[in-house]
Amino acid sequence: MTTVTLHNDDQGDLYVMAWDFNMTDGQGDPTLVQDRTRLNRDQRLDVQVQADGNGNIHIKWWAQLTDNADKTAEHESTDTWTNVTTFFG
């Protein structure tokens, strides 16, 4: 397993989720590795993911402002340090 650090680089507090594309379920969908966790401004969260045969990771994160359910963002990443930057303003 490899540790990926999610960093809330936004101006507000977020709820975050993360999926691992290197671990899939029976239908081939990525595995949910972090389920709707609050990540306050400038806070970091370590998530365990599976590296592929070359040592690479592939995740997707999703974020939502804690005080506005209509504001969501998502991004795919292959970096072990991932800024959760939503540009919500």
Instruction: Give the number of C-alpha atoms closer than 13 A to the C-alpha of residue 16, restricted to the C-beta side.
Output: 31
**82 falls in which pLDDT band (50, 70, 90)?**
confident
**Average pLDDT across the chain, whole number:** 92
In a domain, 87, yes or no: no
In a domain, 6, yes or no: yes
In a domain, 83, yes or no: no
Q: Where are the alpha helices (DSSP H) in 1-89?
A: none
Q: Which long-range contacts (CB under 8 A, 24 or more apart) does 29-33 make?
A: 30/60, 33/59
pLDDT at 20 over 90: yes
Please tell me the distance from the alpha carbon of residue 18 to that of residue 51, in angstroms, as a whole number: 15
Token pair belonging to 24: 């899939």
- For 33, the domain range is 2-78
Please tell me the distance from the alpha carbon of residue 42 to that of residue 7, in angstroms, as a whole number: 6
In a domain, 20, yes or no: yes
What is the total count of domains within the chain?
1
**65 falls in which pLDDT band (50, 70, 90)?**
very high
In a domain, 89, yes or no: no
